[in-house]
A and B are shown apart, each in its own frame.
Chain A
Amino acid sequence: MSQPLFQLSGIERHFALGETTVPALRGVSLSIERGESVAIWGPSGSGKSTLLNLLGLIDAPNAGDLRFDGEDVLALDDDALTDCRNRKIGFVFQGFNLMPVLTALENVMLPLQIRGVATSVARQRASDWLAHVGLERFAAHRPDKLSGGQRQRVAIARALVVEPMLVIADEPTANLDSENSRAVIDLLQKMNQETGVTCVFSTHDPRLLDHVPRHVRLADGLIESDAHPETAS
């Protein structure tokens, strides 16, 4: 059996709120295999976003071990972590987080250009991914000219254009209606199956869980259940 993509053990994360310390994660241990699709769910304040931030390497725990792709990422400096995110992780945010001054195509090209990929190559790959998510006709549109669902599909194309090992999606459907929510989750699942990219997303909507093979339920900063329901499509 190959090495897991993620190996978390005894992860603790707390935040200072004035003079009070608020625990967000209280000793979480979790292993995520390559190519898995995992839904992190649970009520508000359960620690979903905190866990996703740690998995996305944009935050660090106060205690515990975190290995990503076989590497102790907590030992990396900021530049190395930033480069690791650029090469290996794609992000899909709840609020889409597209650059308003860039077109859909330029938004998708952005991670490649940050990496230093030649503009012509980046443009071609971004065009291909925009076509993949069905938005080739909207390549020249700025985000404010796109619907919520279209913006999230652009964000998904931006996450996948770097051919990452992992896509982190923090409540990607929170700002979408049910039809678009379903479409976005289906798209993430399709990409997971087609490209083998590992997908981890959080949601508080139990209806979306039907489409994901593994559910990790968090409550009060602890993993309450880690299930692989047979109903998953």
Chain B
Amino acid sequence: MNTFSLGLRNLRRNYRRSLTTLLSIAFGFAAVALFSGYTKEVYLGLTQQAVHGELIGHLTLSKRGMKQEGRLKPEKYLLKADEIARIAELVKQAYPTARVAPRLALSGLASNGKVSTIFLADGVAADDMLALRGPRRNASGALSAEAPAGITVARGLAALLGLKEGDDASLLVSTLHGQANAADASIIDTYSTGNAGLEDKALFIPLALAQSLYDADERADRLTVLLPDIALTETARQQLDAAFTAAGLDVEIQTWQELSAFYRQVKGMFDMIFGFILSIVLAIVVMSVSNAMSMSVIERTREIGTLRAIGLRRLGVVRLFVSEAVLLVGLGCLSGLLLAVVVRAGVNAAEFSYVPPNGTARMLLVVGLDAGKMLFAAVLLGGLGLAAAIFPARRAARQPVIDSLAHV
């Protein structure tokens, strides 16, 4: 008869109390597992939206100071063709399969010939756009290499100007040197930005057309780097930073997390909610296990006295109760995992949808499984459950044997 086997029998002996404790652990663990699974899917979606949807890529390279003064002194901060070539070469040396895409942002007025409205344009080459879109390459809004004057427009902007696919629009901008410049473009597609703030302003424009409009041939305000793997982001930043410094290039590197404020804000909020839920679950588990063990110790005081009398050391008594707590938490987490898997399957099958904050379209509520966070929660629950059992177990073990035997 080992300690765990004896512990299991003692749990079955008080099955109502054990079941109540086990269920509180199971529901708590399931709540943690489901929420972490949901946030995992949200983070994955936000990551894809930032990297491939907003075309932020993994790293953004620009001249140091571009972010602060680039609009005021574009001539100084726009990358020149030779700088673009040198930077791209250094990136390719470190990551031969990485994609380096020159980009040029523009703003101005878009017109349908009768009315005008503000636009925020992102200039990118069609083939670079295809590469940056990655898994979203077939989504609407892609530029075409065969349409050098073809632009794609956010649906809100298209609606504002009453334009549709195949229509022409005029784009008026202020050039690099402060002069007005205009060009006609044809709308080859419309798309949804997924961001209410940009939906009536955003458009994509071929890089060459953007450079021509801005009177900045072969120049770019930034380079977007798509690495072979998103996990390389931080390593690549450090590696490239060293390489640029060694080459005498004053280049600032920003990661996609730094550039996607929405991702950071949502992740920060969900991480805080996760911590809050986990704290509540931990408090419930500690109280449940502590209560169950304290009751068990009181009820079994004579048994403890008998075990001590026939030769069980104090540590053996502690081990006995701790084993029961570990079994309770272990079985509770296992039941919670099964519950989470069933609920997850039900939620995913039901295809619930909702409009996310600042979103423009409904999206499916998808719950995943975050093994890392579940393991973290299980280990934390196990540790705290064990700590909650140790106190009453130690108290039981330290009680004089004759007092334990005389307990009624």
Instruction: Tell me if B167 counts as interface (CB < 8 A to partner A).
Output: no
* Of B9, B305, B313, the contact of A101 (CB 8 Å cutoff): B9
**Given A59-B400, A93-B306, A106-B1, does the pair A111, B311 have CB atoms closer than 8 Å?**
yes
Other-chain residue from A87, A101, A102 in contact with B311 (beta carbon distance below 8 A): A87
**Which residue in B1, B309, B314 is a CB contact (below 8 Å) of A58?**
B309
- Interface flag for B402 (CB, 8 Å): yes
**Interface residues in A67-124 (C-beta closer than 8 Å to B):** 78-79, 82-83, 85-87, 90-91, 93, 95, 97, 99-102, 106, 109-111, 113-115, 119
B310 A114 Cβ-Cβ under 8 A:
yes
The answer to whether A59 touches B402 (Cβ under 8 A) is yes
B13 at the binding interface (Cβ < 8 Å): yes
B284 at the interface (CB under 8 A from A): no
Find out whether the CB atom of A56 lies under 8 angstroms from the CB atom of B309.
yes
Among A58, A82, A114, the residue within 8 A (CB) of B405 is A58
B313 to A82, Cβ gap below 8 A? yes
Known: A58-B401, A59-B402, A110-B1. A101 touches B312 (CB 8 A): no
Q: Are B316 and A101 in contact (CB under 8 A)?
A: no
Contact A101 B13 (CB under 8 A): yes
Please tell me if the beta carbons of B1 and A82 are within 8 angstroms of each other in the complex.
no
Interface size class of A (residues with CB under 8 A): 20 to 34
Instruction: Decide if B308 is an interface residue (CB 8 Å cutoff).
Output: yes
A82 near B311: Cβ-Cβ < 8 Å:
yes
Give min CB distance, B394 to chain A, whole Å: 13
Q: How far is the CA of A83 from the CA of B309 in the complex (A)?
A: 10
Expressed in whole angstroms, the minimum distance between the Cβ of A126 and any Cβ of chain B is: 11
Within 8 A of A (CB), among B302-330: 302-303, 305-314, 316
Chain A residues contacting B1 (CB-CB under 8 Å) are: 102, 106, 109-110, 113, 119
Q: Which of these, A53, A90, A100, A114, contacts B312 with CB under 8 Å?
A: A114
Provide the A154-175 mask, 1 if CB < 8 A to any CB of B, else 0: 0000100000000000000000
Q: Give A59 to B305 CA distance when docked, in angstroms.
A: 12
User: How far does the Cβ of B323 sit from chain A's closest Cβ, in whole Å?
Assistant: 13
Knowing A97-B302, A101-B6, A101-B9 are in contact, say whether A115-B311 is a contact too (CB < 8 A): yes
For chain B, the bracket of interface size reads 20 to 34
Q: Which of A58, A79, A90 has the most CB of B within 10 A?
A: A58
Q: A99 contacts which chain B residues (CB < 8 A)? A: 303, 306-307
Cβ-closest chain B residue relative to A100 = B13
Asked whether A58 and B313 contact (CB < 8 A) given A97-B302, A101-B13, the answer is no
Q: Return B340 CB to nearest CB of chain A, in Å.
A: 32
With beta carbons under 8 angstroms apart, the residue of B10, B306, B313, B316 that contacts A97 is B306
In the docked arrangement, what's the CA distance between A18 and B310, Å?
31
Alpha-carbon distance A133/B70, docked complex (angstroms)? 97
- In the complex, are the beta carbons of A85 and B303 less than 8 A apart? no
Cα of A56 to Cα of B309 in the assembled complex, Å:
8
Q: Which of B10, B310, B314 has the most CB of A within 10 A?
A: B310
Nearest CB of A to B400, in Å: 7
Residues of A within 8 A of B302 (CB): 95, 97
Q: Give the Cβ gap from B108 to chain A, nearest Cβ, in Å.
A: 82
Which residue from chain B places its CB closest to the CB of A99 in the assembled complex? Answer: B303
> Taking the nearest CB of chain A, how far is it from the CB of B339, in angstroms?
28
B residues adjacent to A (C-beta < 8 A): 1, 6, 9-10, 12-13, 302-303, 305-314, 316, 400-402, 405
Would you give 19 A-B contacts (Cβ < 8 Å), ordered by A?
A58-B308, A59-B402, A79-B313, A79-B314, A82-B311, A82-B312, A85-B310, A86-B311, A91-B309, A99-B306, A102-B9, A110-B1, A110-B307, A111-B311, A113-B1, A114-B310, A114-B311, A114-B312, A158-B310
Chain A interface residues toward B at CB < 8 A: 53, 56, 58-59, 78-79, 82-83, 85-87, 90-91, 93, 95, 97, 99-102, 106, 109-111, 113-115, 119, 158
- A90-B310, A110-B1, A114-B311 are known contacts; what are 16 more A-B pairs with Cβ within 8 Å? A58-B405, A79-B314, A82-B308, A83-B311, A86-B312, A91-B310, A97-B305, A99-B307, A100-B303, A101-B6, A101-B10, A101-B13, A102-B6, A114-B307, A114-B310, A114-B316
